[in-house]
Chain A
Amino acid sequence: DTAVSQTPKYLVTQMGNDKSIKCEQNLGHDTMYWYKQDSKKFLKIMFSYNNKELIINETVPNRFSPKSPDKAHLNLHINSLELGDSAVYFCASSQGGRAYEQYFGPGTRLTVT
């Protein structure tokens, strides 16, 4: 009965490849997010969807494309992976936006070699 789940937990791939990370939440929340945490633990928002609609699109290379097939799912596809994409990617959800607590998934550690 995991609240926010992500797959895979670890992803090791070579430069230039395309990969996807999947996220699912069973909390009935209407808002989902993707964050990137770098090696210094700095957590930066990338995207946010509310009811399947993109509401936040931070300064992220267009190689990153989120997709929300329904309110419970938010996937992240990354094209032409680069070394600098290596990080931990977290999915999160909340009911509403900035005024409410967020529930985080366990993270996906992406290593690009």
Chain B
Amino acid sequence: SQQGEEDPQALSIQEGENATMNCSYKTSINNLQWYRQNSGRGLVHLILIRSNEREKHSGRLRVTLDTSKKSSSLLITASRAADTASYFCATGPIQGAQKLVFGQGTRLTINP
């Protein structure tokens, strides 16, 4: 099975609310990354957190990483309609091939 799995698969909230998405993975990692994909577009890198980091912020984004639980969360605060997109986590394993492994994504809908 794939490395990263996002939860929930779909999330619908009102504009202004906070959105939290979770990602679980199986093997030891070098880093974990979050990407956004707007409908019909390519993925856009949001944030990268390394295995020795526990929390990282970028604007309205907050990412946490718990390597003991092999999980990460992405929090988007004060959501906007423009945040409507699919969000993917991707993990870079410590060992093995030089590649990122993507989860299936969370579809986030922000209702005005």
Contact = CB atoms under 8 A, between A and B. Distances in A.
The yes or no verdict on A and B being binding partners is: yes
Interface of A: 4, 31, 33, 40-45, 48, 50, 55-56, 90, 92, 97-107
Nearest to B46: A101
Interface in B55-112: 86, 88, 92-93, 97-102, 104-105, 107
10 contacts: A4-B42, A31-B98, A43-B43, A48-B98, A48-B99, A97-B92, A97-B99, A98-B97, A98-B99, A106-B41
A23 to B, nearest CB: 11
B30 A104 contact: no
Interface of B: 2, 30-31, 33, 35, 37, 40-45, 48, 86, 88, 92-93, 97-102, 104-105, 107
Contacts, number: 65
A100 B105 CA distance: 20
Nearest to A104: B42
Interface of B: prevailing SS: strand
Nearest to B97: A56
B26 to A, nearest CB: 15
Contacts of A100: 48
A45 B104 contact: no
Contacts of A102: 33, 43, 45, 100
Nearest to A6: B42
